[in-house]
Amino acid sequence: MTYKKRTLKFQFTLKDGAFDGSGNDILTIDNIKAEIEIGAYGGISGTTLEARVFGLSIENMALLSYKGIQLNGAKQNMMKVWADDRPVFFGSITNCFADLNQMPDAPLIISAFSTGFDQSITAPPFSKEGIASVAEIITTIAASIGYTVVNNGVLARLENPYFEGNPISQIQQCAHAAGIEIDFRLGAIYIWPQGGSIDDTIPLISPEHGLIGYPVFSNYGINFQCQYSDLILRGRKVQIETSLPNGSGVYTVQSAIHHLSTWTEGAPWATIVWASIGQLTVRQ
C-alpha cells in the first residue's frame, strides 16, 4: 500500500471584526490536525459540515466562536474547506465553540451548512402570471443571492407560481411543486429530474478502485464504503463491481458522508454511501 500525506485547508471570513491589527477579516490555515465530516443528504441545508480544527490561537478561536450558536444571529461567519487542494465545502458557520478542556491540544468545534447565511436573507415573494419554466424560476431567484444554477434536463413548467419566504425556501418550494431533485453545493444549485442524475459522470467503485469491504443491501438499494473521492455526489450514478452476489450494477447516490482526518495515524479518509436501485422518488 502506498502512503499519501493528506491535507485539509480552511479559510474563515469574519462578518464583524478582524484577525489582526491590519484589519484582515480572512484567516487561512493549512497543514494542521483536523477532522471533518461532510454530509450530502439533500434538503434545504445543502451540504453540511462538522469539523474539529486544531492549532488555532485562543484569540482566533474566540473571534470565530463568539458565543456558540450563530444561526439566524447577528454574526454568521463564512468558511471554505479544501481536501487535498480541491474544494469540498463552502458555507456559513451555524455553531462554533472551543473545547479548552483538551488543552494544550484544544480544538475549535464547528457546525456549518451551505445555505445557512442565505436562509437569513429576507426577500419579497416570487410570483409570475401564466406558465413559467421551473429552471428559469430557480435561476432568477438564485441570481438574487449570487448562486449559479446547473440544470441537467429539467424541463418542467408551473402555472401561476407563487413562493414566499427566504430565497432558499422559495427555491425549495419551486422544486417541490415541480417534483424535481435539487442540491445546494459549493455556491451552486444543481437541479435534475427525479429518476435522472446530476450529470453524466459514472465513477467506478470496485476493490481495485476504492471499495472497502463488501456492499450491504438495504430496503431501497445498497450501502457501501470506499476511499474518499470527490466524484461521489448526491444525484450522481455510480457503477459498483463486487463479488457480492447480485451486488454489481449501476446505482444512484442518495446520500454520501465523507469522513476526512489529517495528522492522526490510522484516521479515516473515506466515504460512506447509500445508493438506490433505479428510480427512487423522494419529495424534498
Going by C-alpha positions, the residue among 225, 272, 222, 277 that lies closest to residue 250 is: 277
What is the structure's pLDDT at 5?
Answer: 83
What is the structure's pLDDT at 242?
Answer: 96
Residues of the chain with pLDDT below 70 are: 1-4, 43, 66-75, 278-284
Q: HSE on the CB side for 39, CA within 13 Å?
A: 12
What is the structure's pLDDT at 1?
Answer: 40
What is the structure's pLDDT at 192?
Answer: 96
What is the structure's pLDDT at 63?
Answer: 87
Predicted model pTM? 0.89
What is the structure's pLDDT at 281?
Answer: 46
What is the structure's pLDDT at 73?
Answer: 54
Burial 107-137 (b: 16+ CB within 10 A, else e): bbbbbbbbbbbbbeeebeebebeeebbbbeb
Phi-psi region of 33 (alpha: psi -120 to 50; beta: other; left: phi over 0): beta
